[in-house]
Chain A
Amino acid sequence: MKLSKLFVFLVVAVCIAFPVSVFAKPVTINWWHAMRSARGEVVKNMINEFNASQSEYEVVGTNKGNYDETMNAGVAAFRAKKQPHLLQVFEVGTQTMMLSGAIYPVFELMKDAGIDVDWSRYLQAVLSYYMNADGNLMSMPFNSSTPIMYYNADMFKKAGIAPLSKSEPITWDELGDITKKLVSTGIASAGMVTAWQSWTQIENYSAIHNVAFASKSNGYEGLDCQLEINNPLVVKHITRLKSWADDKRFMYGGQKYQGPKSEFMAQNVAIYIDSISGIAKLKKGVKDFKWDAAPLPVEAGTAKLQNSIIGGASLWVLNGHSKKEYKGVAAFLKFLAGNEMQEYWHKETGYFPITIDAYESLKSKGYYNTDPLQEVGINQLNRAIPTKISRGLRLGYFVQIRNIINEELELVWNGKKSPKEALDNAAARSNIQLRTFEKTYK
């Protein structure tokens, strides 16, 4: 009896005398993400790598489904005060996250954790999408991609068209000639197809030509912004695509990538515009023809071409956790941005490395000589310093706005509306969404 009392006393004494950390397990950092299958494996490996590299923190990654589901899981968890430290949110959710009051901006986190980051060594077109109007980084870019143009090299050869440059874009007029040749000679039954039409044909088209998608610097500088996609340039572009649709130089294959991709793989169409993540899919799926990639076409006579914009997702730090845990989050984010992880991520998934250092390291190792396709997107993204218009889009209810644009474009393709009518209507309908969003946060 006496002995056991003494034992208890001793245990208590030891516990008081030594700080908890001696006995404590590593601090757990929860990360909810939307990466599944092959990408999920890569994420798992990165986490294991971090956990093995130190003993203070342990990152636990959990897949919460697709982007929508992950964001909803984060929202529900925050309301129940059980939020993870890190939440992966797709790019269209950026405005909602920024205004949520639920986040700990990454630039502050890094400053508070005493980690000095040279943000100028990051790919600016990637960072700028997640910066606030003052140029401070709100969330850590994670998986970023941009659209490029794939083409059937065999068909080009057959039609006697020279292979396209991987760094210098062709013009839309040239593309019109190419597709005309391909279709009129019967080599391809249709000219081009595009995945994610709003992202590739309006959002990126506008950024590359430095035309505002929305007022107030694409929404960066105020919730009272208006959509401006019914401007003459975009209307002209959609009108051109519609006229191409009528003579089969363009075909509509669906809102997402599945339809367009299968048209390209079945060699029904010679040219296919999609995200750089298509590289891996085509490498795996195409067996019976040669294909290649080139930057997105541009308008002839554009004074200065701008960068394309990204799609994908970033990591948001949610507030409501302890200082010690945030130190771990900062350490983890720093680890992820390191060369080794970025190179691994880029090689395995095709998403961009987010730092210039990682890119240059890969280049010096000759990676882009063996895999030149991977550089097409990077060159296009890095071709200019992002302007206020090409740095990204910051819109409330962006999911709804993309839906609206998709709907209205479909009405153009099936001939129910003229391009001007459809884009006017898309802007008007989107503006209603923007006003509701504004009203919610005012």
Chain B
Amino acid sequence: MIKRSFFKSRYLPYLLIFPQILVTLTFFYWPAIQGLSQSFLLSDPFGRHSKFVWFYNYIELFTDPLYLKSIFTTFFFSLAVAAVSLSLGLFIASMANRALKAKALTRTLLIWPYAVAPAISGIMWLFLLHPSYGIVALGIKKWLGVDWNPVLYGSDAMVMIVMASAWKQVSYNFVFFMAGLQAVPKSLTEAAAIDGASPFKRFWYITFPLLSPTFFFLTVMNIIYSFFETFGIIHTVTQGGPGGSTNILVYKVYQDGFVGLNLGSSSAQSVVLMSLIIVITFLQFRFLEKKVQYGG
């Protein structure tokens, strides 16, 4: 006989779940619905004039070549951030996993950058790579002879924000990969080693497939991170420039809504951004997850 506990009252469960529902409704659904309705309006910031304009804001957006460019920039940026931070995180984790001395210390030090706020990370990278006062930038220009100038060249700026964003995320990925690696049974790799598999083959055919749930989870998290949380980095490092080359969607929402006070367009952009994220996450679960092996 299975022991089951249940509530006598029919209403108690609803009562218990009520606070959670209330929080979700107030802090998620209400603003989302507000945003959705605002995206069909043209209104002044003070709320004195408001006009229902159907899809005007959306049409303006999608006929603006720069908005389409911004979508492309965002995808490029988040893929680059995810690729750099995942591969570096995995690399460092597999190295740290083999460390013989001071294991705990190495790990602690490697986790630290995650505690740094994105805006601060941006400022630090700016101090390193700004063409006018960046220490590393001066070195690059002097010794490598590269005309490094993220203030002027879009591609340099993109490299800079990808590095600043990925650097922080490497630590996060490191923690999860580390945990994942420790869950890989030693007996499997040892057996493969006895069979004569090279370290690379052992990694590729044994460790990596066993890490795939972690990998999948981190891919989703990294994409979401680079879509939203990198705002602080963009804001401190490039402000979307030069020439709009690092103007990712979330920064444009801020620029148009908070600074420019164009609430209608900014809301429409948020709705587009929200839909994009829903679609991406759905696609990831639909297609990527099939390849993930959860079982041992």
Contact = CB atoms under 8 A, between A and B. Distances in A.
A99 to B, nearest CB: 7
Interface string A70-82: 0110010011000
Contacts of A72: 258, 261
Contact of B44 (A71, A99, A400): A99
B42 A439 contact: yes
Interface string A412-423: 011010000000
B49 interface: yes
Interface in B24-55: 42-49, 51, 53
Given A266-B132, A400-B262, A436-B265, A410 B152 contact: yes
Contact of B60 (A96, A397, A407, A432): A432
Contacts of B259: 68, 399
A1 B66 CA distance: 80
Given A254-B151, A262-B133, A266-B133, A397 B49 contact: no
Interface in A42-98: 68, 71-72, 75, 78-79, 93, 96
A441 B44 contact: yes
B51 A411 contact: no
A252 B44 CA distance: 35
Nearest to B131: A259
B33 to A, nearest CB: 17
Contacts of A75: 45-46, 261
Contacts of A260: 132
A164 to B, nearest CB: 24
B49 A411 contact: no
Tell me the dominant secondary structure on chain B's binding face.
Answer: loop
A414 B243 CA distance: 9
Given A99-B44, A102-B48, A441-B44, A403 B151 contact: no
Contact of A410 (B133, B242, B260): B242
B241 to A, nearest CB: 6
Given A68-B259, A413-B152, A255 B239 contact: yes
Contacts of A96: 44-45, 261
Interface of A: 68, 71-72, 75, 78-79, 93, 96, 99-102, 252-255, 258-260, 262-263, 266, 268, 397, 399-400, 403, 406-408, 410-411, 413-414, 416, 429, 432-433, 436-437, 439-441
- Which 9 A-B pairs give the minimum distances between C-beta atoms? A410-B243, A410-B242, A100-B46, A101-B48, A399-B260, A411-B243, A440-B42, A262-B132, A400-B260
